[in-house]
Structure 1
Amino acid sequence: MSETTAHLALPFLMAAQAQKHVTHNEALRMLDSMVQLSVLDRHLTAPPAVPAEGARYIVPANATALWAGWGNSVACWLDGAWTRFMPAPGWLAWVVDEAQVLVWIGSAWVPMISAMGFVAQGAAVAVAKGPDGGTTGMAVTEQTLSGLSGASRDSAIVIPDRAIVLGVSSRTVTAVTGATSYDCGIAGEPAKFGGSLGVAAGSTNRGVIGPQAFYADTKIRLTARGGNFTGGAVRIAIHMLTVGLPS
């Protein structure tokens, strides 16, 4: 019979063994280190000088000093020394400084969203990725245009070159003054994403188009109607698809 368990290599208590508490406590220490695994960092190339008891790290491939040769292992500081734990495929680890879960797939630690094919929420995400790194993505970029004045106002954010735009949405955050309404569009097409939009606070518009590809960085323009802008704030959001090049 093996002296350790099949998966976590926890030591068994053996018949007629003396000081069984030593083996039992060793197994508890190993379980405490590996179960509900949470590591502080995975990029330190050398052990921290003053680690806290029980502190755990994923060791990078180029680690030095006492971690040399421990690449991709989990290092845990226990009773004044580093203990190495070799991961098995399927191990999960929460990385504190990155706020994400990694999965050991047998050759590398990869984000769970990649390993499982999940789509994460974010300002820009890849929804499809080819074996050579080409991506199809979705993105949204937002800006609040405040202190409106004059005949028009251009955004600081832009529709990126080679983006495919689905639309630009808008919300009047603070009542617009001076104008009786406004258009949302681009230079040369002032109402492309909506015309005669409401100036009252809370007015909204979902400016869906085409979709349409753009071939140069393009600003969004708000154009006053019925008079120039003298105040107010409008929040805009550009909704688009992105195309990422293969490596």
Structure 2
Amino acid sequence: MVEVVGSGLSIGKRALPDPLRVVVADDHPVILFGAEHALLKFPGLQVVGRARQSTELVKMLQTTACDVLVTDLAMPGGQYGDGLQLIGYLRRNFPTLPIVVLTMLENVALLKRLSELGVTSVVNKSDDLSHIGLAVQHVSRRIEYMSPSVKASLDALRMNSGGKGDEVMLSRRELEVVRLFVSGMTIKEISEQLNRSIKTISTQKNTAMRKLGIDRDSELFQYAQSNGLLNLSSHSSADMGGVS
């Protein structure tokens, strides 16, 4: 006999815990389906919402009870932006909500910024999708979880601390300027997009290049390509906002 006890169920004397309610956001339908399918393989996880861009996501979080959010990092097309801008907004407006970030990037500067924003779990889409469910289970208990390739990148950073690895740590604003520049925007267009002066944008770009030991724009594009920044910048730059 099954009877309702409070918010859960009990069978005889054994109580069944409430499922973890998960919202999944990704602008690619295939990834969205794959992430949901991977989550449903884990007992005790329930997908309660799906979103394709930030406007849908924020509205859903405002109206749907959610225990953990799984969200893509590069997800343009919404009024709240994507990338670091969106994560920063979510952390400010839903400070207690655990977030699992999905990305194709392994750039250590970006991983460091996500950590500084309070993200404790990053899953690379190139890793097995089962890591999404593992990440949800961990962050729901406030335990950090990084998928294998992300962990390898962070371990390499820690091993190189005190050497060149420290020199490539771009600030959040510098990284955003680099992202937009390699996406094809001019300094003037970036200044208008981020509502900063041309001089400020130029200074932030030059500072980033100096930290990276880069002298020419062509080398900056090569750096962006080798570190995955072009993947994040491949969407239309008009859909990207600044980082507040």
Give the alignment's TM-score, normalised by structure 1.
0.22
Higher strand proportion, which one?
1
Structure whose CA Rg is larger: 1
Give the alignment's TM-score, normalised by structure 2.
0.23
